[in-house]
């Protein structure tokens, strides 16, 4: 992160500092029953962290079907068009480094061939990497890289949830969201809200958004909403909480600095173990 980027994010006001009046204006928190204190936060983070760490320990190599719909939206609106619709094979491959849980996520076409991103029609950005990345904020190995706040209780799909917010600390988080340009990658610090099952401490939903606009790279805003569901695989003893739907809304600036909004909706299904098959045979004759 450059000194200019670090200063930009350090000056950004985050949800950690929201007043009660500001919280009441947040649409996704309109039915929130506010918490009276932060007393419950340490135990919630401990319980959630234990489950997230176990999730990454148990996570095998996975593949699934990813359906993507993308199209423009009116600024501030929800009625988006669909100009791109396709299916892909999506892979999640965990690997460890110095005790940390690292994930590689990428997609191929349905025949396993690399995706030619430069020639995809009618889609400005084909977003990826949201299957496991948002959960990393609650991994005990990363907990000191964000600030957290307890907001209270709220019903999600008829389940009582604890709502916890987080904001990445500039320079502290080792796995920031990356916006890739042709000649460089730009780190985007994010903050977000998490809905946690109040009984099981499983994460049901995470919404994140950029901590600061980046007009220097033509990116005004980006909001991500991830819904998680229970996935049962016959070969895995534990139930995995994996993303079912990811919605990414992006506001980009054109060359005249005019904002344009579009949305990618990713739906994941048919999760399976990913295995690489190989055969051993005689070497070819020269």
What does the pLDDT read at residue 99?
A: 47
CA distances from 206 to 39, 111, 162 (A): 22, 31, 12
Local confidence pLDDT in tens for the 286 residues of the chain: 677 777 788 888 999 999 999 999 999 998 999 999 999 999 999 999 999 999 988 888 999 999 999 999 998 778 899 999 999 999 988 875 554 557 788 899 999 998 888 788 888 788 888 778 889 999 999 999 999 999 999 999 899 999 999 999 988 877 667 776 667 777 888 999 999 999 999 999 999 999 999 888 889 999 999 999 999 998 888 889 999 999 999 999 998 889 999 999 999 999 999 875 434 334 334 3
Spatial contact of 166 and 151, defined as CB atoms under 8 Å apart: no
Quick one: tokens of 91? 């892979």
**Residue 25 belongs to some domain of the structure:** yes
Closest CA to 133 of 12, 58, 242: 242
What is the pTM for the complete model shown?
0.90
Q: What pLDDT, on the 0 to 100 scale, is given for residue 96?
A: 59
What is the structure's pLDDT at 276? 59
Report the number of distinct structural domains present in the chain.
Answer: 1
What's the angle, vertex CA 98, arms to CA 97 and CA 100, rounded to 5? 65
CA 180 from chain centre, in angstroms, equals: 16
Q: Is 131 part of any domain?
A: yes
Q: Supply the pLDDT for residue 279.
A: 40
CA 63 vs. chain centroid, Å, equals: 17
- Identify the pLDDT of residue 100: 55
Return the closest-CA partner of residue 195 out of 207, 183, 184. Answer: 207
Q: What is the pLDDT of residue 153?
A: 97
In a domain, 235, yes or no: yes
Q: Tell me: the pLDDT tens digits for 273-283?
A: 987 543 433 43
142 inside domain: yes
Phi, psi torsion values for 156, nearest 5 degrees: -130, 115
Q: How far apart are CA 267 and CA 110, in angstroms?
A: 15
Q: Which domain holds residue 10?
A: 3-273
CATH of the domain at 205: 2.50.20
Please, what's the b/e burial string for 160-199 (b: 16 or more CB within 10 A of its CB; e: otherwise)?
Answer: ebbbbbbbbebeebebbbebeeeeeebbbbbbbbbbbbbe
Q: Establish if 183 belongs to a structural domain.
A: yes
Closest C-alpha among 42, 48, 54, 22 to residue 194: 48
Indicate whether 225 belongs to any domain: yes
Q: Which of 60, 61, 9 is nearest to 210 (CA)?
A: 9
CB 195 within 8 A of CB 156: yes
Residue 110 placed within a domain: yes
| Tens digit of each residue's pLDDT (9 = 90 or more) over 74-121 | 987 788 999 999 999 999 888 755 545 577 888 999 999 988 887 888
Q: What per-residue confidence (pLDDT) applies to 182?
A: 65
Which residues have a Cβ under 8 Å from the Cβ of 255 and sit 6 or more positions away? none
Domain-embedded: residue 278 = no
């Amino acid at each position: 992160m450059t000194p200019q980027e670090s200063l930009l994010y350090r000056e950004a006001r985050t949800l950690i500092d929201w007043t009660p009046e500001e919280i009441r204006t947040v649409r996704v928190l309109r039915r929130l029953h506010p918490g009276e204190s932060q007393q419950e936060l340490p135990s919630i983070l401990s319980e959630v962290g234990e489950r997230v760490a176990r999730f990454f320990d148990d996570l095998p190599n996975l593949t699934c079907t990813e359906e993507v719909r993308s199209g423009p939206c009116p600024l501030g609106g929800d009625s988006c068009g669909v100009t791109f619709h396709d299916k892909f094979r999506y892979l999640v491959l965990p690997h460890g480094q110095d005790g940390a849980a690292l994930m590689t996520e990428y997609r191929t076409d349905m025949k396993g061939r690399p995706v030619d991103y430069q020639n995809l029609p009618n889609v400005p950005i084909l977003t990826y990497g949201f299957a496991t990345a948002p959960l990393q904020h609650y991994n005990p190995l990363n907990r000191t890289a964000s600030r957290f706040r307890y907001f209270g209780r709220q019903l999600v799909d008829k389940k009582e949830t604890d709502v916890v917010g987080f904001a990445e600390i500039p320079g502290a988080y080792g796995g920031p969201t990356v916006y890739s340009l042709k000649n460089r990658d730009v780190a985007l610090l994010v903050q977000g809200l998490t809905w946690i099952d109040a009984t099981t401490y499983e994460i049901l939903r995470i919404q994140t958004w950029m901590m600061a606009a980046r007009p220097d790279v033509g990116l005004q805003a980006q909001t991500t909403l991830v819904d998680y569901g229970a996935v049962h695989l016959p070969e895995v003893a534990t139930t995995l909480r994996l993303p079912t739907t990811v919605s990414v809304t992006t506001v980009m600036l054109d060359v005249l600095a005019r904002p344009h909004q579009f949305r990618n909706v990713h739906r994941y299904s048919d999760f399976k173990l990913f295995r690489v098959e190989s055969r051993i045979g005689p070497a070819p004759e020269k």
